[in-house]
Amino acid sequence: MHRIKAMIGPAALGLLGAGAALAETALDEPLALSNRQPLVLSFNLPPARGGAVLEAAQTRWRIGYDVANNFTMRQRGDESVVLDGETQRLELGGAVGLGDHWEVGASLPLIRHDGGGLDGFIEHWHSFWGLPDGDRASYPRDRLLYRYRRGGQALVNLHGSASGIGDLQLNAACSLFRNADSAVALATTLSVPTGDADKLTGAGAAHVSLALAATRNNLFDLGLTATANAGALWLDRNSPLASRQRDVVWFGSAGIGWAPAANWRLKAQLDAHSAFYRSELRELGSDSMQLLLGGSVRLSRHWLLDAAVAEDIVVDTAPDVVFQLALRAVY
C-alpha cells in the first residue's frame, strides 16, 4: 500500500499540474474573431491562435457565437455594393494532441443572414458619442440587403433571410519551438466546401491556409502576454464573385494580454488581411484591419469564457461592429 501511494501521489500531482498549465496556456490564447463581413465571411479566414500545441491526448473544445452588424454602400464606375444587415455565426470545434509536437482538429460554423435587431442600438450609440453613422438613419432599420452589381448585373443579391452550415474546417498544427515563456507553431487549415455560396454561407470551393503563430509570456515581467500570427490563404475560384477574386490573401494579427488577476485576462488585438477582390470599391478591394477588445475568464480548472467586440479600423472593410461570446474547455 505504501508503494502504491508513493506511485499514485506524484502521478496525481503531475496530472493536476499539467491540467493547470494547460488551462493557463488556454487563458492566454488570442481572441478568435476574424473578419465577418458577408463577402469575406464564407472564406473562413483563419482566426488568430497561440503558439502552444496540445500535448498527446490533450483535448480542446470550443463553442463560439458572434453577431456582426453591417451597413455600407458605395458606387464606383460600373460597380456598386450595398451591405446592410446582420450575420450570426455559431461555431463548434475541437482539437486533440497527437504527440510528437502535433495536434489536429476540426470546426464547423452555422451561419444566418437576416435583418437583425441592432440597428437602433448602434444609431443611438453613434449619436451619444458623436460618431459618424454613414447615413444609417435615412434607410429602414433591421433590413437585409447584401448586393453587389457590376455592369448592370447583380452578382450577389441576398435580400431574404438565409441560413445553413458553413464550410467545414480541418486544422493541424506542429510545434516548432517551446520553452517556459515562448511558443511558436506552424498551423494549416483546409476548408471543405460544405456551405452554400449562393446563400453566402460557403466559398463554393476548397481552399487552404498556412500560418506561423507565436506566443510570448511574462513580457517585461509585467504580467503581459504577446501573441502574433502571419500567414497566407490560397483561394480556389467558385464563388459568386469568382471573376473578381484574388488567388492569395495575406493575413496577420498582433495582440497583447494583461493579467489583472490569476483567472482573468484583458486583451487588445489588431487583425489585418489583404483584399479578397480586385475592385475599386473599398468594401471589396481594400486591405482590412479590425481592432478587437475583450478578455477571458477561467470558470473552473477546465472551462473558460471569452468575450470580444470588434470595430473596423479601416472603415467599411469589415462590419461596423461584431460581438462575440465563446465557451471553451481544455482537458
Q: 229, 231, 302, 308: which is closest to 265 by C-alpha?
A: 308
C-alpha neighbours within 13 Å on the C-beta side of residue 242: 11
**Is residue 172 predicted with pLDDT exceeding 70?**
yes
Higher pLDDT, 17 or 328: 328
How sure is the predictor about 12, in pLDDT bands with cuts at 50, 70 and 90? Answer: very low
Q: What CA–CA distance (Å, rounded) separates 276 from 235?
A: 9
How sure is the predictor about 119, in pLDDT bands with cuts at 50, 70 and 90? Answer: confident
Mean pLDDT of the chain: 90
Query: Across residues 55-68, what is the average pLDDT?
Result: 97
**Is residue 5 predicted with pLDDT exceeding 70?**
no
pLDDT in the model for residue 23: 58
**CATH 2.40.160.40, applies to 2-330:** yes
Predicted TM-score (pTM) of this structure:
0.88
Q: 242, 272, 280: which is closest to 255 by C-alpha?
A: 272
Query: Across residues 274-281, what is the average pLDDT?
Result: 97
> What SS3 state is found at 94?
strand
What are the structural domain ranges in the chain? 2-330
**Is residue 127 predicted with pLDDT exceeding 80?**
no
pLDDT in the model for residue 279: 97
What's the pLDDT tens digit per position in 177-216?
999 899 999 999 999 999 999 999 999 999 999 999 999 9
**Is residue 139 predicted with pLDDT exceeding 50?**
yes
**Is residue 9 predicted with pLDDT exceeding 70?**
no
Cβ atoms 90, 109 nearer than 8 A: yes
The residue assigned the cell 429602414 is 140
Cβ atoms 291, 262 nearer than 8 A: no
Q: What CA–CA distance (Å, rounded) separates 203 from 239?
A: 5
How sure is the predictor about 4, in pLDDT bands with cuts at 50, 70 and 90? Answer: very low
Q: What CA–CA distance (Å, rounded) separates 273 from 231?
A: 9
How sure is the predictor about 22, in pLDDT bands with cuts at 50, 70 and 90? Answer: low
**Is residue 36 predicted with pLDDT exceeding 50?**
yes
